[in-house]
Structures are given as C-alpha cells and as structure tokens.
C-alpha cells in the first residue's frame, strides 16, 4: 500500500501482508499488516520497521515522502522480528544519528543482530524527545507482550504509537477503523487479544491504569498491526480494560474432538442441557482452529471439554488445544468434562487435571462412556449441561 498521512507530518509507511496464514500457531486467515510510522518535525523519526521480507517495500514507501538518508532517528518500540527484521537493511541505508530504545530493547536487539556498532541511545520511562515542532514521550509497556515493549506518545498530535497494543491481524486496503465493518474489526481485535495478550493481562491492567492516571488525550491509537483507531479510540481502550480484568458473560464454550462420533453425540447433549439464557459455542477441533477457539474462550464463563482416548491419552487435537490454552492462561472459568473410551476409563480424569492446572472451578463429576453412548449416558450429558448452566446463571 502507498504511504498515508494520518495527521499533519505523520505518515503510515508500513506494508500489508496479504498472504500470511500462520503467526506462530495463530491462524491469520485474513493476513496482517506490519505498520511503521514516519514523523516529520525539524528532525525526522521512523518508528519501527517491518518484517525482513518487506524491507524493500518499506523503503519505497519512505522514498515517496522523504529521501531516507534525511531520517535523523529510528525509534524501536519492540524488538520482535516482525517489527525489527528490516532494521539492518534500513540502518545501512539511512545511517541514523540515533537508534532510540530502552536498555531492555537494546539487549534484545543485540541478541538478535549482534551489532554493537549501531548508534544506540537509551531512553527511560517518561523521557521526552523534542524533534522541533513535535515532542515524543516514551512509556514502558513491559510484557505487553515482550519484556522490552514501549509505546510512543506524540504530545501535540495526541497520537499513541502503541506497538502491538490495540492491533489486529487483518490485511485490508482500508487504513482506519471507521472505514471497515465494525463487527469484523472488533472480532479481529478480540482474537488478537485472546491469542497474544491474554496471559499478560495483569501487565495490560497496569499499563492502562498508568496512562489513565496521566490524563493523556488520544485522538488516534496507531498499532503496529491492522487498522488505526481514530473514530472513537476510547471504545477499544474500554475493551482492553474488560478483557484484562477477565470479565465474562453467560457463555459456554464446548470444545471437543471425536474419533468415531461418540463424543460428538455427547457434546450435542451437553449443549442441549445448556440451552436457555446462555450463549453456547460448539467447537469441533476437526473444523475449528485453536486460535478461533481461544477467541471464544476469552469472555466465556464456562469451558466444557470433551474427548475420546487414543493410546491411553487424549486425542492429539485436544492435547494440542490444551497445551495452547495453558500457555494463554484464561481466568475466571467454570469447567466440566465428558468423553468416551475403549478400555481405560481415564478421559474425564485427564481433562479435569488439565483444567485444574488452569485453576478452573470444576463442575460435576463429568460423564464418560465406553464406546457409544446410550440414552442413559446422553441424559447424563444433558444433566451436566444443565448443571453448568445453573452455575453460570447463579454466579
């Protein structure tokens, strides 16, 4: 995409990756963007770069605005390779006077690129950089989602260059939130939080509280992925506050995998028992990617797991889902389990152990059946759903 002026002297110069379909286990079925920003005062500053593959496109975008050798400083808000991968090429071309970042970010960049000849200038929490006509203030956002993460606030323009915060993995020709369908936008923002920031929610709470107490005004939130928020930035800010607090709604997500259809029949009966005042999401792991499942889990009050057994353990897709979920550490959840087995009746035990490790509140004793469920077993599944429903609505 061509560069775009988002406010006077402030340009989006990043790139759109239409073809990305996986981001370390996160399904990016709609691609993504790697946003970078160019700010012109008396000095010119580039904020972040892009993935290494797109270095040429980034430089081409910059050249439409300014000769790259006239860029004075590069600010690195985040050392992860999707934002720093092009840095060696860009530094070689620009030869900036300063490479501005925190000490933690310098350490990360050194561990990635091993370049002690770069012109590092270390900043600290609250430091201000005057570039002539514009001032930039830096605030730490550690563990959202890396230890060295930082955001940059353009004080006169009331723009927060927010690093990964408030992002979405979504490739679009549109650049702003008010140019796209809001339902899809907020779904992609929710998916992004669920799959990247959920385990760092305590850090998100701390960050939001810190900036709120400073009474900063935000006309624009400019993340490093996806759409730029300009219509009503306070709405996504509120969403982050809700997600970070682990707020839930009357919703149950049934996550299951099945070998010969028995566990699928049990899942349908559990769903029937949940009906009435509860939003139900039925996720068959054969057809639903783990990153879409965890998006549903984010605001759900209950997670109900179902599997059959293979070689004495859970089915591989369920084992994969649990490994992924444990890493993301969902909180404030009710849990329940069901499943089928051939000759070792341990399925409920294995599922409950996983949920206990995640500190879920286990409801009921679970339901298991050998091979194919009969009407009595399906009725037990119905009752399990009713029991979970009662717990959801009485919380």
Known catalytic residues? 24, 78, 80, 82, 145, 164, 192, 225
Peptide bond connecting 145 to the previous residue in cis, omega within 30 degrees of 0? yes
Residue 32, both tokens: 């993504």
Listing DSSP states for 9-28 in one string gives: TEEE--EEETT--EETTEE-
Q: What is the DSSP letter of 222?
A: E
- CB-based contacts of 60: which residues, under 8 Å, 6+ apart? none
How many residues in the chain? 395
Listing DSSP states for 20-64 in one string gives: --EETTEE-TT-EEE--EEEESSSEEEE----GGGHHHHHHHHHT
Q: Are 227 and 1 in contact (CB under 8 A)?
A: no
End-to-end CA distance of the chain: 49
Q: Are 254 and 224 in contact (CB under 8 A)?
A: no
Q: CA-CA distance, 201 to 203, in Å (whole number)?
A: 5
271-282 burial code (b ≥16 CB/10 A, e <16): bebbeeebebbb
Q: What is the DSSP letter of 229?
A: B
For 232: left if phi > 0, alpha if psi spans -120 to 50, otherwise beta; the answer is: beta
Q: CA-CA distance, 282 to 368, in Å (whole number)?
A: 19
Question: What are the C-alpha distances in Å from 192 to residues 96, 116, 196, 299?
Answer: 33, 34, 6, 13
Torsion, CA 327, CA 206, CA 104, CA 229, rounded to 10:
90
Residue 120, both tokens: 């590092």
């Amino acid at each position: 995409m061509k560069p775009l002026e988002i406010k006077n002297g402030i340009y989006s110069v990043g790139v759109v990756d239409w073809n990305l379909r996986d981001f370390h286990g996160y399904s990016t079925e709609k691609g993504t963007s790697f946003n970078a920003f160019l700010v012109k005062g008396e000095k010119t500053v580039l904020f972040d770069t892009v993935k290494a593959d797109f270095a040429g496109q980034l430089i081409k975008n910059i050249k439409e605005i300014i000769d790259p050798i006239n860029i004075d400083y590069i600010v690195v808000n985040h050392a992860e390779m999707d934002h720093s991968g092009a840095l060696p090429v860009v530094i070689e071309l620009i030869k900036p006077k300063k490479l501005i970042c925190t000490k933690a970010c310098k350490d990360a960049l050194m561990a990635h690129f091993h370049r002690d000849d770069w012109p590092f200038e270390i900043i600290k929490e609250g430091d201000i950089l005057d570039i002539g006509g514009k001032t930039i203030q830096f605030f730490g956002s550690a563990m959202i989602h890396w230890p060295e993460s930082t955001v940059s606030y353009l004080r006169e323009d009331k723009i927060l260059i927010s690093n990964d915060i408030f992002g979405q993995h979504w490739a679009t020709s549109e650049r702003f939130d008010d140019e796209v369908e809001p339902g899809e936008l907020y779904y992609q923002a929710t998916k992004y939080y669920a799959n990247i920031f959920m385990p760092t929610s305590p850090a998100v709470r701390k960050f939001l509280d810190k900036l709120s107490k400073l009474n900063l005004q935000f006309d624009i939130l400019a993340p490093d992925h996806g759409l730029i928020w300009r219509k009503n930035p306070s709405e996504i800010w509120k969403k982050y506050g809700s997600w970070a607090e682990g707020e839930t709604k009357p919703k149950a997500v049934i996550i299951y995998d099945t070998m010969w259809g028995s566990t699928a029949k049990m899942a349908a009966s559990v769903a029937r028992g949940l009906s009435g005042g509860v939003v139900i999401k039925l996720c068959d792991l054969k057809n639903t990617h783990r990153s879409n499942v965890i998006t549903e889990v984010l605001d759900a009050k209950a997670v109900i797991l179902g599997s059959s057994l293979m070689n004495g353990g859970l089915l591989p897709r369920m084992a994969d889902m649990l490994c992924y979920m444990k890493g993301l550490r969902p909180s404030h959840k009710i849990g329940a389990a069901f499943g089928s087995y051939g000759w070792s009746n341990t399925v409920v035990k294995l599922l409950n152990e996983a949920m206990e490790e995640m500190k879920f509140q286990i409801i009921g004793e679970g339901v298991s059946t050998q091979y194919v469920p009969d009407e009595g077993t399906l009725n037990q599944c119905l009752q399990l759903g009713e029991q979970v429903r009662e717990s959801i609505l009485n919380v």
